[in-house]
Every structure is written in C-alpha cells, then in structure tokens.
C-alpha cells in the first residue's frame, strides 16, 4: 500500500473514531487508536509515524523485536502494545520491549510478568484478556474466572489497568463489548481495549478506551496471519 493511501486511511479512521465518540451517549473520556502493524514493515509504519501516530500494536514478540527497536531510536515517544498471546518464556523480552501488555490471561503468566518486571525495572501496564465468547481455541480468561485473576494481579502488584477482548468472528460484537464493559465496571478497571477494523465504532458506544485497528489502515494481511 502506498504511503499516501496509508496516510488517508489513518486520517479516515481518526475521523471515524471522533464521529463515533460524538454519536455515543457515554463514550470513554478518551479513545486511543492502537495502530496494529503485525506483518507490516517499516515502509508501512513510517507514513503513520510521520502523520503523528504514536501508539502501535503487535501480536508477536519476536516479530516486534525485529522492527521496533530501530523505529524507537527514531521516535522516542512510541507506545508499543502487545496484543497477541504471550508465552511465559517470552515474558522477559515482552517486558523489555512493550509499554503495555494486553493479553494477560492466567495466574502463572501474571507471576512471571511480576518477576520480570522486578528483574528488569520496567513496568508495562497490563490488560487482562477475557474470552467473552468462551471459545475453546481462543486465548483469554473465561468471564467467570476473570475476578480471581484480577484479584491475583492486584495482590502481586501488577500495574493492571484494564480488560481486552476479541469477540467471536461469527457473532455480533455488541454483547461481548457490553460484557467486557460490565466486568471492567464491576472490578473498577479504567481501560477497555475492544474494537478492530470492522467493529471499532460499536466498541466506542460501549466505552472503548483503546481500539485496535490494522487492516483498515495498512491493508489486508497475507492470509496465514490471524
Ligand atoms: C490483528 C489484530 C487486530 C487488528 O485487526 P484488524 O481487523 O486488521 O483491524 C486487533 N486485535 C488483535 C488482537 C489482533 O490480533
């Protein structure tokens, strides 16, 4: 995709976010666009940086390690979010590279993140991923187990700030966003990461503070990628 097209897409998404916020009865105080750059290289990312975009999402630690350290040297104020599943053996690298980790979904990972934050002195803020559709193959804590994981993350002093979800691809997203919003309210968590290219306007109606938009900005990804 040409730099001009990426630029236009980005302005278009920013305008749609603003319009959705205006139309919403009770939008969040702010909605941050997380531009999702998985599978895309510096050629695609640079136009977004030049346009002023600073918050980005990647779903694989290794892929992110390959491109972001150099971009970070050019732009000191980048905020990088991990939005894909995290294995405990990659936790140290994730804590070193990312400014936010959106995919905490189990006690063991919480403990490992705590240890790596202590060891490295870094403390990326954390979202718990909730499997709102209770899909067997999908990452995320089950909704009925979210309370226990939230309590554990707080007990060990993780910088837990919010919840994240990816609704089932074949269902209307609104009930999933509503469930995530309710869980966040019940547990007094301020941030809600929900909404992607196809449904971020709906997510904003339910109070999204972070929307994660990839293909609507950078174009379709090769099919093998999630
Ligand atoms: C890829 C991805 C996105 C972006 O999806 P698009 O439909 O391309 O906007 C958002 N969230 C997560 C967790 C992703 O893996």
Q: Six-digit token pair at 170?
A: 């074949």
Helices (H), the chain: 3-23, 42-50, 61-74, 91-97, 107-120, 146-155, 174-186, 200-205, 215-218
Residue with tokens 């105080």: 29
CB atoms within 10 A of CB 97: 20
pLDDT at 224: 57
Mutate which of 214, 219, 223 for ligand 1 pocket (most atoms within 8 A of beta carbon):
214
Query: Is residue 223's pLDDT more than 70?
Result: no
Mutate which of 83, 105, 177, 216 for ligand 1 pocket (most atoms within 8 A of beta carbon):
83
Average pLDDT, the chain: 97
Q: For residues 203-225, give the mean pLDDT.
A: 90
Query: Is residue 175's pLDDT more than 70?
Result: yes
User: 221 vs 5, which has greater pLDDT?
Assistant: 5
pTM: 0.97
CA–CA dist 18, 22 (Å, integer): 6
Which helix (H) or strand (E) segment is 81 a member of? strand 79-82
**Which residue CA neighbors atom 12 of ligand 1 most closely?**
83
pLDDT at 141: 98
Asked if 183 and 200 touch (Cβ cutoff 8 Å), the reply is no
Query: Is residue 226's pLDDT more than 60?
Result: no
Query: Is residue 161's pLDDT more than 70?
Result: yes
CA–CA dist 8, 37 (Å, integer): 16
Q: For residues 56-85, give the mean pLDDT.
A: 97
């Amino acid at each position: 995709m040409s730099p001009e097209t990426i630029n236009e897409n980005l302005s278009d998404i920013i305008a749609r976010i603003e319009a959705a916020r205006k139309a919403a009865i009770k939008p969040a105080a702010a909605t941050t666009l997380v531009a999702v750059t998985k599978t895309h290289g510096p050629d695609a990312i640079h136009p977004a940086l030049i346009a002023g975009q600073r918050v980005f999402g990647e779903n694989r630690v290794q892929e992110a390690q390959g491109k972001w350290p150099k971009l970070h040297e050019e732009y000191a104020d980048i905020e990088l979010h991990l939005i894909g599943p995290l294995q405990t053996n990659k936790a140290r690298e994730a804590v070193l590279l990312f400014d936010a980790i959106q995919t905490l979904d189990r006690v063991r990972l919480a403990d490992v993140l705590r240890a790596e934050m202590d060891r490295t002195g870094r403390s990326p803020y954390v979202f718990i991923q909730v499997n709102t559709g209770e899909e067997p193959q999908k990452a995320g804590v089950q909704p009925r187990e979210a309370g226990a994981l939230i309590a554990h993350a707080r007990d060990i002093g993780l910088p837990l700030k919010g919840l994240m979800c990816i609704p089932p691809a074949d269902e209307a997203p609104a009930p999933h966003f509503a469930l995530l919003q309710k869980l966040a309210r019940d547990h007094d968590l301020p941030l809600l990461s929900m909404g992607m290219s196809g449904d971020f306007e709906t997510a904003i109606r339910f109070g999204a503070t972070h929307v994660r938009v990839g293909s609507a900005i950078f174009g379709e990804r090769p099919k093998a990628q999630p």
